[in-house]
Amino acid sequence: MTKSNADSFKPAFGLTNKHIQTIFPSLFRKTPSPSFEIEEFTLSDGDFLECYWHKIENHNTHTPIVILFHGLAGSYKSSYIQGVVDALDKAGFSSVVMHYRGCAEKENHLARSYHSGDTGDAKEFLEYLQKNYSTNKLFAVGYSLGANMLLKLLGELQENSPLSTAVAVSAPMQLDICASHMNRGFSRFYQHLLLKDLNEALEKKYLKHDLESIINLPKQKVKKLKNFWEFDDAYTAPIHGFDSAKDYYTKSSARQYLREIKTPTLIIHAKDDPFMTPDILPQEEELSSFVQLEIQEHGGHVGFIGGTLLKPEYWLDKKIVNYFTSSL
């Protein structure tokens, strides 16, 4: 089901520009820093994930738990994560940020990292939660890369998903289109910032692993990777078993999995998202009956700031909390 005007988002006066919507929260959002309990989750291949728990004061065996999947180069420090953790706490939900490999405070053990279609780690963590929190309802929110991964995961699990409901925000559902778009105009600014983090993380891996022989890339060439196509061709694809960046994008894009989803799922997207074009959006016939697609005219990428400039309101957090609360 597609909705383009449900609970319509109205940007704050002066914040209609898509780039301001995208950048404003990371620069100006003030959220109380949530307290986290860190769990190191061991994966079947010997690597680990750092999972940051925030449990409500009276957490018990029936407290609903929300798993949070951050975006590319994101973490528990990201403003959208801290904001939603606070909003969920106030609504009676405990939450856990499942960091991808090497994304919190510690470098992961293996030469591999994570990618937009890497559902294996999330599946292992969900199985663990299902077993150890069997009486707690489980929900999930994915942002950007995490939203694409979550949608693909739901499509793969189908009726075997342990999640009651899920929300995907600003999902790059067709990765090749997104990677090409990020190499044009002002979007290159975001690409530059993200690639700086990715290249630095990759360079660190050369200290522990013989990456030159593993992926045939000399360390000095890492700094020369100037766009996502180049980075994913040089590192993401070969280290994760893909033939090329194109092969990785084709197999990892969530759009092709949407009709397989059997979990009530809300996809929130802004037409003016500067990370992608509206071409990534699925047609109605590509969605399963469990998927609700809400397209807003404005909102940028993981933005959606309403209210006023002096008193901004984070519409996204309220939307997510309301969606989960309605299914309790």
4 catalytic residue (yes or no): no
301 catalytic residue (yes or no): yes
- The pair phi, psi for residue 73, each rounded to 5°, is 60, 20
The label of the residue with tokens 């997104």 reads 178
In the set 78, 116, 301, 317, the catalytic residue is 301
Rounded distance, CA 30 to CA 305, Å? 13
In the set 86, 121, 233, 273, the catalytic residue is 273
244 catalytic residue (yes or no): no
In the set 113, 144, 161, 170, the catalytic residue is 144
Catalytically active residues are: 144, 273, 301
